[in-house]
Structure formats: C-alpha cells, structure tokens
Structure 1
Amino acid sequence: MAEKLLTVRNVTRQFGGLTAVNDVSMTIYDNELVALIGPNGAGKTTLFNMLSGLLPATSGTIAIRHDGRFYKVSGKGATSVAQHGISRTFQNIRLFGDMTVRENIMAALNNQFKENFWSTIFHTPGYYRAERKMNDEAQKLIDRYHLTAVADSPANKLPYGMQRRVEIVRALATNPKIIFLDEPAAGMNPEETAELTKMIRQLRDENNLAVLLIEHDMSLVMSLAERIYVLDQGEVLASGTPKEVSQNPAVVKAYLGGDINAAG
C-alpha cells in the first residue's frame, strides 16, 4: 500500500481582507498522478506557490516525508522545500533563455555536486570530477527524454513544446520526490499535448515520484490523473477519481453548468 508523501492540513492564505485559499487539506501518496483543477481564480496557483515555498501560508501546515519522517516545510522558503524533495515548473516558462539545454539541466544538478569554495576558486581535481559527473548526469537525462538533437541549442530558440519538455527535465534534475507542474499543456497543440502526457507517465514510472499538476485541459486530466482535487473560490469543492469528480453536480456547476469532460 502506498505511503503518504505530502500532507496539507487546513492551509489558508489571506492577502489583506481577501482569502485566496481557505482551509485546504489534501494528501498525496507515493508515485501518484494527481490533478488540481478549478475555474480561473479558484486559488490553484496560490496553493502551488505555498506548496513550493514561494509564498508562506497564513495558517495551516505542509509536510513532506523525507528519510522516513515528516518534515514541516510550510514557511521554510523555496530552498528548504526543494532540499526536501519538492520541485516545480511554472505557468510561464522560466528557462535560462541564453543558456543551452544542457547548461539549463546542469544548473539544476549543481546542488547535488557542490564543491567547497576553494576547489571552485582554484579548479582543483575535485572541481573537475564534480563537473564531469554533472555533465554525465545531464547527458543521461538528455538521452532519456529525447533532447539529444537540441542539447546544445539555446533554450530560447526552441519551439514552445520543446521548451516545456526542457523545463520539466530541469525540474527532474533536482532529484525530487514530487513534481508540481503548473499548466504544462498551456499553449500546446494536440500532438504536443499527447507527447506531454506520455512524458509525464514516463517521469512517474521511471523515477518513482509523485506528480501534482494544475491543468485546464480536461482531456489530459481525465486520461492521466488517478485522483483529482477541485478548488472553487479557494476551497476544496470535491476530490476523488476522475469518474467521481466528473459526475459530481457541484463540480459541473462550478464549470459554468457545462460538462467537465469538455471544459477547457
């Protein structure tokens, strides 16, 4: 039976007199594919920002299992959250545009191959060993996720769908236990979305990690997610399997009275 990996308990975020996220609780288990959906303005990105340490919660707790025990990461900041095995992508791609694909991935690997200050300054043998290891690890990721042809191209010269792929691989390079994907299919054509769907499954299956994604493409969500949380006006409106959620009257109403399976 899968163990709990990430627990979110009664998390709230207020901005002055506005409550953007209100008393949200959720649980992600090892190796799960989970979607977070809801109408625009439901609080999804605010919740993601709290989960990844970019935004402190006003109240509530976020904890992740690390080395056999749970660590509270709410309020610890993005660096501490990343060190405990959480990585993410953004709705707006944030690659280092002038750097190559390889350099973007190596930048994410840097924390795993830290050398001390003096070895970096004087380029000691340890520095060169670490650099070779980083390059080898980057090459493995490049080969595995079909980036070989663009490995030495500047990231900002790549087609949009390929930039998304690079950003996800860069997130994977931090060796996470869970990856948060913020609207990964935004702006993609159907062919790119199909490739993305296969890639997300591959990420989960090959790396034994959990995936939590925000997504408006309901065909992707319904085909990929094992469980779904629905946010509306900052609160969890429903949760369950794709079938359960798609047949929930409150969820259908939140999507403007339409069919959630057809919502975009």
Structure 2
Amino acid sequence: MKDQAPKAQKQDKQPGDQFKMSPKPESKADNAQKRKLEGKVAIISGGDSGIGRAVALAFVKEGAKVCITYLNEKRDAEDTEKLIKEAGGNCLLIAGDIRDDKHCELIVSKTIDVFGKLDIVVNNAAVQYSQESLLDISNEQLQKTFQTNIFAYFYLTRAALPYLKEGSAIINTTSVTAYRGSAHLIDYASTKGAIVGFTRSLANNLAKKNIRVNGVASGPIWTPLIPASFSEEKVAEFGKDVPMGRPGQPNEVAPSYVFLASEDASYMTGQIIHPNGGEIVNG
C-alpha cells in the first residue's frame, strides 16, 4: 500500500533481500489491464489543435471524457470533436477568451453540468509574437501574452480547484524557452518561466491533498502557432537546430500528458517533462 509506512528494520548485508522487508515494495503494475484514464474528466485549454488536440485524443483513447476550450477556431474545434467521436469518446466544446476569469469559471461549471465531475486540468493555450527587440514589444502585446499564457492558468485552475479531489492532476504546458530563453520571444519565454514557478509552487501547496501538479516543456513542435508566428523562411527551418534535427509532432508530446494525468505518475509532483528533440536544459 502506498500509504503504508516502512516499519523499523535492519538488514546486515547489501544489496539486501526484498522478501525480508515489511511492508513489501510494490512491484506489480497498477491496473495493468485497465485504460489509464478510465472514467476521468479533463478540461484542456487550447484543445482544438496542436498539442491540445493530440492530448485530447490521447486522453479519450485512455478512457477520459474531455472538455475542449478554444478562442474562435471553430473549424479546428469541430474537426477535433469529430475525431474524438470517431474514437468513441465524449467531448464538450466551449469557445471564448480564457483571459476572462468569468469565462474560466463558466468552463468549469459547464464541465461539471455535463460530466458531473472534474479530475484533470490541462492548461495549454498560448500566444507568441516574435520581435527583434524588447523595444518592439508594445504594452498591448506584453499584456496579451501574459494574460493568455499565465493569468489564464491561474484563472482556470482556481475555478477548477474546488472540484478537484485526491488523485486529481493539473498539467501545465511550459516550453524549452523557459530554460534557455529566446532572443525573439522575450515576453513569451518570460511567461513560460512563470509557468514553471507556478507549477512548482502549486505542487507544494497541494501535495498534502494528493493533487499532483506537473508540467511539460516541449521543444519545437509543429503546431498552428508556428506559421502564425514566424516568416516563411523561419518556418522552413523550424526545428532543424535541435539534436534530432526536426520538429516534433503533437502526438509525440501527448504521451507525456497521459503519463502525468494517470496513476503511473502517482509519485510525481512539481516536475517538468522535456520532450524537446534532445536539447539538454538541466531543468
């Protein structure tokens, strides 16, 4: 039992004998034949496309029901809903601006109304605007980037928290830029660093309630945000500078979220996973 403390004991030789231990270490996989997220309900912000869509599909495959939030990308959201239904899953779509705390409260209340519970929150939606200099970052851009990329994480998590219980999971999408910086995405990288701090602090705050909080710091992943952010020339070279020499695909990142949302990660909180094509960030 995970909550069973070791009893006072001593063995006289190393590496020791497991059969003598009390309690015995747990070696068998938990629920080995069961889907990892069976019966769980998740909210995924920015779930209409990119990493969010891949996470939604991966969650559904493992038995979860999902609420997908998006700004106004109706076609992408409907395509995601279609893919989820084709996979035999249940999906709730909610459009709106997560920079509005009241909208985040609405997302949670609608999810509870439709699915009756909430187990997983994935804070994922983000914006980024490439600029050559700090002098080019307007107050408007700075505020929008922070409001979308970190304020919304606070708003959605705060709205969800009263409904989360022991065993629930919160997963925050950060970025490799939080660890190595980005000369042309100064405000974006700053928000991603804030997300790391948010993840670690909230994990400490909720550990005694056994609500786990972790993050995923992806590297260059091929999502709609890339052609919406950079020139054609930069897009053509996107991801080639990492050791693996290519951008990652959203479905290569999604398994990290499944792991963190499931009982497989029952002893992980306050941690960041780095699917980034081989870049060493020591974070």
Please say which structure displays the higher CA radius of gyration: 2
TM-score computed with the length of structure 2 as normaliser:
0.32
Structure holding more strand per residue: 1
